[in-house]
Amino acid sequence: MATYKVAGNTVVRIDASAGGALTAFTSYVDSMDAFGKEVDQLDVTHFDDAAERVIAGIELASEIGLRGAFDDTATTGPDAIFATAVGTNLTFEYNPVGTASGARKISAEMFVKSYKPGAEVKGRVEYEVRLVKDGTITIGAN
């Protein structure tokens, strides 16, 4: 799975509590896996076809990872959001080129599969959270 650095105009938002308002989270994300729609393919090849044939199936429950600097501030940061959210769904919004009017926005409900703070190395503690899409991804614009 491809991993990308999060920088520039990219904006990541997460609801800090189920059903809550979206919170800017970009400053805590150094890198993330690619995020978008993926569908299953269904084989519809007939015995007399010269090659395999497929049609679109249902949207797959893709998984992504976010990685960055650990922060255990009481109300913000990865520890405040994810430490108690494992096993629950949170809204995730990704704006690859910023939040200007008309800019691409990709969002989905995401199941928090795991949250793992790491050990300190050279004065920095890292975290990784794994999110699994629950339902469909919405691709739209701001």
Question: What does the pLDDT read at residue 40?
Answer: 93
The whole-chain average pLDDT of the chain stands at 88
CA dihedral of residues 25, 125, 74, 65 (deg, nearest 10): 40
Q: Please, which pLDDT band fits residue 8 given cuts at 50, 70 and 90?
A: confident
pLDDT at residue 112 greater than cutoff 90? yes
Cα torsion for 129, 139, 133, 36, to the nearest 10°?
Answer: -70
What is the average pLDDT across 82-105?
92
Please give the biggest Cα pair distance in the chain. Answer: 64
Percent of the chain with pLDDT over 90: 57
φ/ψ of residue 139, rounded to 5: -110, 115
Rounded CA-CA distance 86/129 in Å is 9
pLDDT at position 66 is 94
3-state secondary structure of 128: strand
pLDDT tens track for 21-41: 888 888 899 999 988 889 999
- Domains of the chain with bracketed CATH: 3-141 (2.30.110)
Instruction: Report which residue type is found at 93.
Output: E
- Cβ-proximal residues to 77 (8 Å cutoff; 6+ apart), any chain: 28, 70, 71
Mean pLDDT of 58-86: 88
Asked whether residue 1 carries a pLDDT value surpassing 60, the answer given is no
